[in-house]
Amino acid sequence: MLNGCLSDYLKMKQFFTALLLVCLHGTVAGQNTTNFAHIGRVDRFDSALDALIAKDAKIEVLCGGFDWSEGPVWVQEENNKFGGYVLFSDIPHNAVMKWQEGVGASLFMKPAGYTGVADYGREPGSNGLALDAQGQLVMCEHGDRRISVVTKGGGKLTLADRWNGKRLNSPNDLAIRSNGDIFFTDPIYGLPKRAEDPMREIDFCGVYRLQKDGTVIVQHKGMSRPNGIGFSPDEKTLYVANSDGSDPVWRAFPVQTDGNLGEPRAFFDSSKDNRVPRSGGDGLKVDAKGNVFATGAGGVLVLSPKGKLLGRLVTGERIANVAWGNDGSVLYLTSDMYLCRIQTKAKGTGF
């Protein structure tokens, strides 16, 4: 019995060692497993969650070994039998990684968020990623303090790096409206000395609108650390997370007829729900029925369109952001050193 347990332990140790050896310069060659390790749990606070997450759904670990994974996005490929692949940021390593079913993880881009030659602190890389209507990769870059786009030819262009002539702090996350406008958040996490950094030029952490003509308009100055951002399916509401434990409120902004944001209302406040820890939010995504999947407070909070807490996805590690992929029903999670996924019964917006 003891020998059997020891054998099982060694096998598991070898598995997780191999898992964590996925590195920034290589690919997991010939990955053909569909038997990924399961971690964490699903907390069910309301029976309505059963319509979104099956009772036997498991969180799978797809790859690991990253410093801080963030900003996942699904890239569709018509000639790919698995449908496409996931791109995500590893911020401390200044890299964008690629994970593809049957292949594994590989380096997609480096440098990704900082192209200078001097050291640029703990978080120099890209953060939030998204695709525009042409399928081009749009990036929030910490070190270069800009919103950029990777063109079809592979080159990168700056879309915005200033507001009123002042350099942005460190763009964090973004949401692209169907008319092409890019809404993004700009806290201070990417600055080497954060709020006290001498390079800082804007004295607030804003929510911005980048129009197609390049005009950058500040939309809101009243959140201490605006972070994750996403539209409702009808694009009449923009949700923004605040990553500040002293104001752990996800806010809902009405989108006015001119495309600018109105005054927000509180959508969910983790300090007022004793089922989750008091914690600010990070990334978020919305499904086709308006449910919000928001990271923070110990996992991914699943919130109804009215802000009711239905459940929580817990990996046991911090979760930075999420993205819909495959046919829109698979939710990918960047969770500290891991990239994970869970099959849902929902469908992400845009699928």
From first to last of the 351 residues of the chain, give the pLDDT tens digit. 434 443 443 344 334 444 444 444 444 444 656 679 999 999 999 999 999 999 999 999 999 999 999 999 999 998 888 899 999 999 999 999 999 999 999 999 999 999 999 999 999 999 999 999 999 999 999 999 999 999 999 999 999 999 999 999 999 999 999 999 999 999 999 999 999 999 999 999 999 999 999 999 999 999 999 999 999 999 999 999 999 999 999 999 999 999 999 999 999 999 999 999 999 999 999 999 999 999 998 999 999 999 999 999 999 999 999 999 999 999 999 999 999 999 999 999 999
* Domains delineated in the chain: 39-343 (2.120.10.30)
DSSP letters, 188-200, are: STTSTTGGG-TT-
* Rounded Cα distance, 69 and 61, in Å: 13
* Rounded Cα distance, 247 and 308, in Å: 18
**What are 166-190's pLDDT values in tens digits?**
999 999 999 999 999 999 999 999 9
Q: Is 315 helix (H, G, I), strand (E, B) or coil?
A: coil
**pLDDT given at position 341:** 98
* Rounded Cα distance, 85 and 74, in Å: 6
Closest Cα partner for 141 from 126, 155, 129?
Answer: 126
**What are 72-83's pLDDT values in tens digits?**
999 999 888 889
**What are 321-339's pLDDT values in tens digits?**
999 999 999 999 999 999 9
8 Å CB contact between 139 and 109: no
Separation in Å, CA 133 to CA 11, 137, 167:
45, 10, 27
With tokens 């007022």, the residue in question is 272
**pLDDT given at position 32:** 58
pTM of the model: 0.92
